[in-house]
Amino acid sequence: MAGYKKEKREKVLSKKSRPSKKPKTPNLCNCLSYVKSFFRFIYDFIVSFIFYFIYKNTPSKILPPVEDLLVLDSCTTLVNKIKNKEVTCRHVVECFIKRIEQVNPILNAVVDTRFDKALAEADEYDKLIELADTEDKINLIFDGKPLFGIPFTSKESTGAKGMAFTFGLVSRIGMKSNEDAEVVKSLKTAGAILLGVTNVPEINLWCETRNKVYGQTNNPYNTNHTAGGSSGGEASIVSACGSPLGLGTDIGGSARIPAFNCGLFGHKLTTGFINTKGMTFRKGTEKQTMVSAGPITKYAEDLTPIIKAFLGPEKSLELKIDQEVDLSSLKYYYVDKPNDARVSPISDELQIVLDHVIESIASITELPPLKVKFSGTCYSYSLWRHSMTKEESDFCATLGNNQTRVSVWTEVPKTIVGCSNHTLAAVLKLIDLQLPQVNAVWADAEIEKLSNEVSTLLGDDSVLFFPSSPTTAKHHYEPFLHPYNFAYWAIFNVLKLPVTQVPLGLGLNGLPLGIQVVAGMNQDRLCVAVAKHLELKFGGWKPPFTTKVP
């Protein structure tokens, strides 16, 4: 199979090198496409100009520099320091608590904390290390706990025992979770210590983090811009060094969007490997779902141990997470235009950084990355919207806290007069549910076709580079005028493939750039390996504050 794919690829490359045929006469479809592109450009330009004008006299709030350089360390480095008795677990936890207290008034990312309990747990871990008087005993303590003593935060919509559990719903104010979600349990079992929970959009279904319980979360690079959503609180606090590890969930880009906006690594695991119990109202018994989970971190080296913590020993073996990857032997492909008419085209800045990625990969592999096109990506939003109809949750009931169904006919008038308890994003979702659905037979056929095309191309030895976003992080509220752009991320939830969002430095406006690295089903380790290479080449996460540390 590998030989066949290589031969096929060489034929494609050979064809590309042949003299081009006589250009075809432009037809009506091409003309219409140019017209659409022109009006799309004008629309995007006008929207960007309006929001630039709105915010131009509003200075961004500046994050203070870190006081203890320990918060700049990776999870891997912190574990080694704890193991070698260079620092105590208590000191590590104290450093991140202090950092949260420094930056959270600016970011509004962390919405509920358990600092006293976290310090008590850290003390218990320190006692274990103190009593271990031999190297063998130390190793035994750390065996099976790749995150021993590492603080972490989690989304408020993912259950954490004793923590706020409102999902951003006014009707759930004051509610606490009675137990840990399975994904939270997995990190605690791996030795991680929960510091608190972070802000989310109402019911998680929006690409900005804002609700009527806690308010709006800000981007650490520029507080006039969105942190993304739905794991926006996670990404914001991790990038600001208030937490070394964020627990993200992802049903339409919810972990990768904020990771991109906040200059971080965000990984969506192959769908189906995570128990969803405790994620909002989910029971973990869903027959099928697009939702998955994954880490949000500053450093690529942390992805593997955290993924192992999520999966446990058996599933880690199944996905061969620890298996070495020879990057030079992989095949590489890329897409620069999804061609979905509803989404904005990729900006020149992100196109240039994609080109640099291709150049970097071309230097380590025999065959250069090949540009590909999938017809199905032009329906990205429609296919995701159709797939959402197969989720077992009922949005109208969920919005009513499963006590009542919220009606669009009563909620729209309330929104108009400013007395709705729900955000505009939630109300727009109610309106969207009233619009005609796409033909289910057509959509299922398109999903199957696209899935087969991508799976056949990638197999178990290839990766695909795909734009993370058409632009850098938008101003607050601006995504309402670009409501379909999240389809850049959401299409891979439809396909249920593993994806890593990789930061690639900062743009001219000081906001993060990035790229998505996609692999075949169950090939998460390929995404991570390529992410590590790109981190070395492009520098990875850049602090959103001044620091003397390079």
Position 28 scores a pLDDT of 63
When pLDDT is averaged across residues 482-489 and rounded to a whole number, the result is 96
What gap in Å lies between CA 229 and CA 284, rounded to an integer?
Answer: 22
Confidence of residue 189 (pLDDT cuts 50, 70, 90): very high
- CA torsion angle 286 292 293 294 (round to 10): 150
Task: Find the helix or strand (DSSP H, E) in which 95 lies.
Answer: helix 89-107
CA distance 158 to 163: 10
Instruction: Give pLDDT tens digits for 208-225.
Output: 999 999 999 999 999 999
Query: Is the entire prediction scored with pTM above 0.85?
Result: yes
Task: Report, as an integer, the average pLDDT of 356-384.
Answer: 95
**Per-residue model confidence as pLDDT tens digits over 264-289:** 999 999 999 999 999 999 999 988 89
SS3 content of the chain, % helix, strand, coil (to 5): 45, 15, 40
Task: Show the CA angle centred on residue 56, arms to residues 51 and 59, nearest 5°.
Answer: 120
Superfamily name with CATH number, domain 59-392+429-538: Amidase signature (AS) domain (3.90.1300.10)
Active-site annotation, residues? 155, 230, 254
Question: How far from chain centre, in Å, is Cα 379?
Answer: 21
CA–CA separation, 350 and 358 (whole Å): 12
CA angle (202, 203, 209) in 5-degree steps: 40
- The residues with which 164 forms a beta bridge, in sequence order, are 176
Q: What is the pLDDT of residue 21?
A: 44
pLDDT of 11 > 90? The answer is no
Quote the distance between the C-alpha of residue 218 and its chain's center: 16
* For residue 324, pLDDT beyond 60: yes
Q: Where are the domains of the chain?
A: 59-392+429-538
Q: Work out the burial of residue 158: count CB atoms within 10 Å of its CB; fewer than 13 is exposed, 13-18 middle, 19 or more buried.
A: buried
**């919220």: which residue's tokens?**
406
Residues 198 and 155: beta-carbon distance below 8 Å: yes
Chain centre to alpha carbon of residue 408:
30
Give the model's confidence band at 36: pLDDT under 50 very low, under 70 low, under 90 confident, else very high.
confident
